[in-house]
Amino acid sequence: MTDHPVKEMMRLMATRIITIADGMSDEEIDAFISEILNANRVYTMGAGRSGLVAKAFAMRLMHLGFTAYVVGETVTPAMQPGDVLIVFSGSGATKTVADIAETARGIGGRLCLITSKKGSRIAKIADCVVIIESQRDKVADESAEFEIRQMMGELKSFAPLGTIFETTAMVFADAIISRLMEITSCRPEDLQCRHANIE
């Protein structure tokens, strides 16, 4: 008896995320963590599904005790020098996001980009860039190539558009939170006391 196709696709996604993690730069990750630790306040943003990742990351930073905001929310205060803007953008070129990133740099804020495009518009002005590679690998085996094409969204039945980037970005963001917990000696109960209690 074979597994359900959904379970197989979940395993494919997990395997792809492991491959991407193996190829990420330790130096880029360390630089990103340093930007967060040295920031007065942290702002996050992204468009579409990347924006949802940005919101989730800001929430976890708040749980850790960082002062974190989501760009575009009504309670988000004015950015100042010494603050950092973290942008999640697969393309690194979404116009609305790039415009805001340029504004943040003009204010004197620091800029971090989580992306799959090294030479993008936002990457060119960022202080810190973390590359989450999402291009498909060359595969000799035709059946494996078919599965990877599905993963990359070239076949529309599974993982369309930027799904692999966004899913990997979410896992990366949660891994950063785990690392920050270690660095700051934050305990799970410390996070719990900041968790929403009026839901």
Q: 71-115, pLDDT tens digit by residue?
A: 999 999 999 999 999 999 999 999 999 999 999 999 999 999 999
How confident is the model at residue 2, as a pLDDT? Answer: 75
Q: Is the dihedral of CA 111, 73, 39, 25 positive or negative?
A: negative
Which CA distances in Å does 113 have to 35, 50, 197?
A: 11, 12, 32
- Mean pLDDT score, 120-127: 97
57-73 pLDDT, tens digit per residue, is: 999 999 999 999 999 99
Q: DSSP states of 138-189 as a string?
A: P-SSHHHHHHHHHHTTSSTTSS-TTHHHHHHHHHHHHHHHHHHHHHTT--HH
For the sheet with 128-131, list strands across it. 68-70, 42-46, 84-88, 110-115, 128-131
Residues with active-site annotation: 166
How confident is the model at residue 102, as a pLDDT? Answer: 97
CATH fold of 5-71+81-184? Rossmann fold (3.40.50)
Predicted model pTM: 0.84
Quote the tokens at residue 151. 């993963």
Ordered by start, the domain boundaries in the chain are: 5-71+81-184
How confident is the model at residue 136, as a pLDDT? Answer: 43
